[in-house]
Amino acid sequence: MIIPVFNTLEFLEDCIDSVISQTYRHFEIILINDGSNKETENMLTTYSNKYENIYLYNFNEREGVGAARNFGISEATGSYIYFLDSDDYLPNMTLELLVNNIKEDDMIRGRIKHTTFSNGEVVLLQGLMNPKYYEDKKFNSIKNKSALNTLFKREFIIENNLWFSEELAIYSDITFLISACIATPRVPYLKEAIYFRRKRNDAISNPSLSQSALHEKVFNFLKMYKSLKENVEDEQANVYLDREFLNFYRKQIVTCFKDIACIDMFYPALHECIRLTNKQLIQSYSWVLRNEVNAILNDKQKKYKRIMKRHQLLRDIKVGLESKRKFYLLLYRRVLQKMKVKENVVFFESFLGKNYSDNPKYIYEKMLEKNMPYKYVWCFREDKNIPGNAIQVKRFSLKYYYYLARAKYWVSNSRLPKSLNKREENIYLQTWHGTPLKTLVFDINDIHSADPNYKKNFYEQSRRWDYLNSPNQYSSDIFRRAFKYDETMLEFGYPRNDILYQKNNQNDIDKLKDKIGITKDKKVILYAPTWRDDEFFSRGNYKFTLNLDLAKMQDAFSNEYILLLRTHYHIANNIDVSEFEGFVYDASHYDDIAELYLASDMLITDYSSVFFDYAHLQRPILFYTYDLEKYRDSLRGMYFDMQEECPGPLLMTTDEVVDSIANIDDVTEKYKDKYNAFYEKFCQWDDGHASEKTIEAVFKD
């Protein structure tokens, strides 16, 4: 078992433990530390000291996976050789299945399953395991271009001098696999022998080789192809290489050439590769590919550029005709963004167009109050009754794309779609929408949400932000790290909290209660839970199960209180509270939660960041954290110990919630010191003027 390692500390235990727990016991583990950091080296040393069959070799500097595997082969002493990447892991019977089924063959391959998680389950039905044999079409067995989950006889590798390319950072496996397939009469494949290949959820901080940048993949593939074509004589191998190359050209190189500047970078190498490709095989591909290849063969680089520009245009048009939204996006990129930016237009969006609320609302209203010389555009999913003469556009309508393309300023409290390219002339103010309790982006380990590319997408989207609002120093420190944000941080507090200072008086609170449509004769409990990453309908649409027993709440408090239910904007399902009419009011679709804060006498929440804002009012806060252990330890993780820092009790049952409300004065007194410390840490920047300070920093014209 040969495992090259480079800075995979967070995955190592899963990887090595999965080998140690194999039902097949006769193996040695060769760990090659390929120039990893000290923390990774220390863990490898711990394993090698603990187990007699684990051997550790340390490279002084990184030499690459090919060199590490070649070294491992030279040190191996067993009858078989198996390669495992240090971020992957195995079900416990994988090695036994492969060893039992290799028999007289030189190698046997198993199935690779891709995963984003740290564990996976396999159900095996005994008696149904029959290998499939690749003989006439051996090279079809290596279409995944990976030597992983393949058991080789060591003598077969030695006798045929099989080796991995050490010149390539990516695709070094193909050199090895081509030679192996040439040397063996057939390749068995056992689908029951599973290998879990982890798709790392952080392709920015610590990408796997498969997550390398596209231009790096193109460089390495062209280099690999040219080298093998000049040295491999086997006919089947050459057909395999040519097909892989032409398919790589169609899918990867053409995509890379969306940036026309990349053509100049790769054209010489591409010309050399096309020259080595079977001309008869080229003729079996489409006219589009043949036309491009002929230009390269004739060394007409300028002509090829013209053809490629046309290809990219036609490709975009083809995609654009798939749906109305894609057609509008085509117009946005190809037409609208060619038009001049309008210096006096400001585009606002709050919570994906669902609300007129939060930081964008208060910045907008302050700009109206100051009578600033701007034209305003608001994005909504449906028309809203808002102050001023702002143009309202429906999200993803043609007007939406038109004004985003023309507006100089973008103001949003959540990420605008990744598909929206931003021009240099644009100024993007990202106000964000809360102080973080739950770990964010690059501070999250496993991603349990509906978007496994969350980190990569977030990184690309956040590179567009010119300014980012921060509510406190604690948040600034986290945003810098978790968002990898290096641009201007606006450290004034949150504009949305201005109202908590300016309208925290009985007259304004009574007006808000009238606006909300609730009685002024009873006290108000606001229940504002957040969403759970592992409960979703689809990406961005989460479901919520109400665990608070509203019947008990109603029996205990309906004479004195009413309850406002406000779910998170990501939650897509409606909670039916009709049986509690007169006590429970569903305020989930009420635009501005800050107004609900002011109208309420206490807050019940869980892991939502609402309590950071509510604390500005210095009113009681209860935490209904019935799934704390799961949420904290499995789903997201948290930045601080809630039991130590929260300005109120953590409650696990409805009975505990009822008891705390019934004795709210005692609870308030008990948590007085914690509340004061919390306020000092998280609420010191806000003074009711964050909107004005933000405007002065961003709108400098």
pLDDT at 572: 44
Q: Could you tell me if residue 231 is inside a domain?
A: no
- Cα separation, 11 vs 89, in Å, equals 9
665 found inside a domain: yes
**170 and 34 within one domain:** yes
Buried b (16+ CB within 10 A) or exposed e, 370-391: eeeebbbbbbbeeeeebeeebe
- Which residue in the block uniquely carries the two structure tokens 């120039």? 35
Handedness of CA 667, 670, 674, 675 (dihedral sign): positive
Which of 270, 297, 320 is the C-terminal boundary of a domain? Answer: 320
Q: What is the mean pLDDT for each group of 10 consecutive residues in the chain (701 residues)?
A: 95 96 96 97 97 96 96 97 97 96 97 80 64 94 96 98 94 96 97 91 74 92 97 96 96 95 95 96 95 95 96 96 97 97 97 94 98 97 96 98 98 95 96 93 73 86 97 97 97 98 97 96 95 52 75 97 85 75 94 96 94 98 91 76 94 97 98 97 97 96 65
Beta-carbon count within 10 A of 294 CB: 15
| 304 & 361 share domain | no
State the sign of the Cα–Cα–Cα–Cα dihedral 89, 95, 101, 104: positive
In a domain, 588, yes or no: yes
Residue 504 belongs to some domain of the structure: no
Instruction: List the CATH number of the domain containing 417.
Output: 3.40.50.11820
Q: What are 561's strand-pairing partners?
A: 523
Where in the sequence is the domain holding 351, given as residue range(s)?
333-496
The residues facing 392 across adjacent strands are 378
Give the separation between CA 454 and CA 447, rounded to whole angstroms: 8
Residues β-bridged to residue 624: 651
Domain co-membership, 197 together with 246: no
143, 276: one domain: no
Q: Are residues 243 and 359 in the same domain?
A: no
Rounded (5°) CA angle 405-406-410? 75
Q: Measured between alpha carbons, how far is 73 from 69 in angstroms, rounded to an integer?
A: 6
**Pair 406, 427 in one domain:** yes
486 shares a domain with 426: yes
Co-location of 207 and 296 in the same domain: no
696 located within any domain: no
Domain membership of residue 694 (yes or no) is no
| Radius of gyration of the chain from its Cα atoms, rounded to whole angstroms | 30
Last residue of some domain: 465, 496, 527?
496
Answer yes or no: are the C-beta atoms of 598 and 577 closer than 8 Å. no
Number of domains in the chain: 4
Q: What is the CATH number of the domain that holds 127?
A: 3.90.550.10
Q: What pLDDT is stored for residue 230 in this prediction? A: 96
Sheet order of strands, 187-198 included = 80-82, 150-153, 107-115, 187-198, 132-134
Same domain? 555 vs 665: yes
Using CA atoms, how far apart are residues 472 and 272, in angstroms rounded to an integer? Answer: 57
| CA distance from start to end of the chain | 64
Looking at the structure, tell me whether residues 472 and 526 fall in a common domain. no
Nearest alpha-carbon partner for 470 in 408, 531, 413:
413
| Total Cβ atoms within 10 A of residue 261 | 7
- The predicted structure's pLDDT at residue 569: 58
In 3D, which of 548, 550, 624 has the Cα closest to residue 581? 550
Q: Which helix (H) or strand (E) holds 594?
A: helix 593-599
Residue ranges of E strands in 418-535: 427-430, 467-469, 488-490, 523-528
Together in a domain, 93 and 171:
yes
Q: How far apart are CA 454 and CA 458, in angstroms?
A: 6
Dist CA 181 CA 174 (whole Å): 10
217 in a structural domain: no
Find the CATH number of the domain harbouring 581. Answer: 3.40.50.12580
In a domain, 645, yes or no: yes
d(CA 25, CA 387): 73
Partnered with residue 34 across adjacent β-strands are: 59
Residue 140 shares a structural domain with residue 35: yes
Q: For residue 533, what pLDDT is reported?
A: 54
Residue 150 near residue 110, CB atoms below 8 Å: yes
Domain final position from 320, 343, 360: 320
* CB of 18 closer than 8 Å to CB of 122: no
**Residue 605 confidence (pLDDT):** 96
Strand partners, 83: 2
> 187: which strand partners?
134
